[in-house]
Amino acid sequence: MLRAFVLGLITGVVYFVGTVYWTGTVLSAFGGLQPVVASVAMLLLALYLAIYPAIFAVVLSRLIASAGAPALLLTPAVWVATEYARGRMFGGFPWVPLGNSQVTVLPVVQFASILGVYGVSLVVAVVNAVAAFALLEPGRRRIKLIAATAVGLIVLAGWGSWRVADGSLTREGRPIRVGLLQGNVAQEEKWDPRHARRIFTTYIAMTRDAVRRGADYVIWPESATPFTFGEAPVSDQALRDLAVEVQVPILFGSDEDVHTNPPAYYNSAFQLGPDGRTVAVYRKMHLVPFGEFIPLQRWLTFVSPLVGRLTPFSEGESSVMLPVGSDKASTSICYEVVFPHLVRDAVNMGSELLTTVTNDGWYGHSSAPYQHFELASMRAVEQGRYLARAANTGISGVVDPYGRVVARSGIFEQVGMVEEVRFLTTRTVYARVGDVAAYAAIVLTLVALVTLRPRRQ
Residues identified as active-site: 222, 284, 334
Q: Outline where DSSP puts E strands in 150-221.
A: 174-182, 217-219
In this structure, the number of other CB atoms found within 10 A of the CB of residue 259 comes to 8
CA distances from 187 to 191, 194, 252, 254, 363 (A): 8, 14, 17, 15, 10
User: What number of H helices and E strands is found in the chain?
Assistant: 14, 12
Amino acid of residue 146: I
d(CA 133, CA 118): 22
Name the DSSP class of 277. Answer: -
Cβ-based burial of 341 (10 A; exposed 0-12, middle 13-18, buried ≥19) = middle
Residue 267 β-bridge partners: 255
H-state helical runs in 397-435? 429-433
In this structure, the number of other CB atoms found within 10 A of the CB of residue 337 comes to 26
Encode burial over 13-30: b for 16+ CB neighbours within 10 A, e otherwise.
beebbebbbbbbbbbbbb
**Beta strand 405-408 with 397-399: parallel, antiparallel or unpaired?**
antiparallel
Is residue 433 a contact partner of residue 230, using CB atoms and an 8 Å limit?
Answer: no
Task: Sheet with 415-423: list strands edge to edge.
Answer: 278-283, 264-272, 250-258, 217-219, 174-182, 415-423
- Three-state SS at 455: coil
- Three-state SS at 220: coil
Is residue 322 a contact partner of residue 273, using CB atoms and an 8 Å limit?
Answer: no
Is residue 424 a contact partner of residue 405, using CB atoms and an 8 Å limit?
Answer: no
